[in-house]
Amino acid sequence: MADPQFKMPPLEWIRAFEAAARCRSFTAAAAEIGLTQSAISQRIGHLEKQLGTTLFFRRARSIDLTVEGEAWLPHVRTALSNLRDSSQALFGSGRGQVTISASQSIIELWLLPRLMKLGDVGKGQLTIQSMVLGTQDAALDDVVRIRYGSGDWPHDHKVQLFSEKIAPLASPELVKRGGYWTDWPRIACSGPRPGWNTWATRFGISTTPLPHLHFDTFLSALGAARVGMGVVLGSLPLCEDDLRARRLVRLDNETIDHHESYWAIAGPDAIARTQWNELAKALA
């Protein structure tokens, strides 16, 4: 039986608590909600007084959750998420447009082959943005982002596109030249994937010849390999179409199974939960 003396705190106080706990800052929570820092502090103070417990340790430049705050936070997040989802399902007209931000390599090699399914998710309103090189941030905003990493981002929605597997690839024309592939020209690509030094160390091949071509995108490196300019360490999932069409061939049975891969990540403002479930199926 419910305690007749317990009074439910106002929703705006609870929302202030969740934002401050997630942002680890009253100031950041205020900016997110659209209030002043003092207003956030005041609401949390009222909340703590009504609950009869301290939820945060206040320090000079930071805040930390108390044991009670840590224990309550997951219940608050679940409740707010359920409230948002049920409101959208009952009263929302559908979010409609979906915006996806990704590297040009992912756009061409992974998204375009799945464009029909992705378009259905966005109800015909799908925007795909090329990620600016060098920006690997994973901000919580109104865009679904595809990023390379281990998947430890604090987003509401998150799905791994594939398990990363890397192997040496080359064009059939280069293979026809004969000889052993480790002696052929090598193509390098900057980025988070393991490169030639990792392959040489792992499988005991020479670090020479040194790559004679260096690219800042995997798509460019792949293009050079397709026309026979050298061997590239390619992501097997991203190169499925090239391998199937024999534009590229695999040169070695060995594979690097890398712990990082591409993930689609999104906050609650980027996409509705029902749309996310459909998007995750289309992407993975």
Whether residue 172 is contained in a domain is answered as yes
Quote the pLDDT of residue 135.
45
Looking at the fold, whether 169 and 236 belong to one and the same domain comes out as yes
Amino acid symbol at 154: P
- Residue 81: which domain range? 11-91
Quote the pLDDT of residue 31.
87
Would you give the distance in Å from CA 68 to the centre of its chain?
31
Looking at the fold, whether 181 and 251 belong to one and the same domain comes out as yes
* Contact by Cβ (8 Å): 265, 153: yes
Strand 256-257 with 165-170, pairing: antiparallel
Quote the pLDDT of residue 5.
74
From the CB of residue 200, how many other CB atoms can be counted at a distance below 10 Å? Answer: 14
Looking at the fold, whether 202 and 244 belong to one and the same domain comes out as yes
Residues 6+ apart with CB under 8 A from 198: 256
Quote the pLDDT of residue 4.
63
Quote the pLDDT of residue 103.
94
Maximum separation of any 2 CA atoms in the chain, in Å: 85
- Helix axis angle, 67-91 relative to 273-283, nearest 10°? 90
Quote the pLDDT of residue 134.
42
Quote the pLDDT of residue 213.
97
What's the number of domains the chain is made of? 3
CATH classification of the domain holding 87: 1.10.10.10
Q: What is the mean pLDDT of each run of 10 residues along the chain (284 residues)?
A: 75 95 92 91 96 94 94 92 74 67 95 86 78 54 90 88 98 95 96 94 96 96 97 97 97 96 88 86 89
Whether residue 6 is contained in a domain is answered as no
Residues 6+ apart with CB under 8 A from 271: 95, 98, 144, 157, 279
Looking at the fold, whether 232 and 253 belong to one and the same domain comes out as yes
From the CB of residue 149, how many other CB atoms can be counted at a distance below 10 Å? Answer: 15
CATH classification of the domain holding 119: 3.40.190.10
Looking at the fold, whether 265 and 205 belong to one and the same domain comes out as no
Taken in order 207, 213, 218, 222, the sign of the CA dihedral is: negative
Whether residue 4 is contained in a domain is answered as no
* Contact by Cβ (8 Å): 45, 37: no
Quote the pLDDT of residue 123.
65
Quote the pLDDT of residue 121.
77
Quote the pLDDT of residue 140.
56
Q: Return the residue matching tokens 């090699």.
A: 109
User: pTM of whole model > 0.75?
Assistant: no
